[in-house]
Amino acid sequence: MARPHAARIERAWTEAELAKSRIWGELLELGQVIGYRGRLLGSKLECQKAQLLLLLRQKSPI
């Protein structure tokens, strides 16, 4: 006789596994925030660089 839920085997997580999964989740979240800030700062710097080049072109006597 087959068990109705034989394909889905559940087991209890140990405290160490729970702690590790929480820490890993927090690290992934932190990495995403740092990555987003890096992209944001990169785009701001690129924008400022473009603005500076535009101002320099306007002030040049050429």
**Amino acid in position 8:** R
Tokens 């209890």 -> residue: 12
Of the chain, the percentage scoring pLDDT greater than 90 comes to: 0
| Phi, psi (deg, nearest 5) at residue 8 | -100, 100
Dist. CA 14–CA 21, nearest whole Å: 11
The pLDDT of 27-51, averaged and rounded, is 73
Q: What is the pTM of this model?
A: 0.36
Q: Is the pLDDT of residue 2 over 60?
A: no
Sign of CA dihedral 9, 12, 27, 39: positive
Dist. CA 48–CA 15, nearest whole Å: 49
**Domain limits of the chain?**
15-62
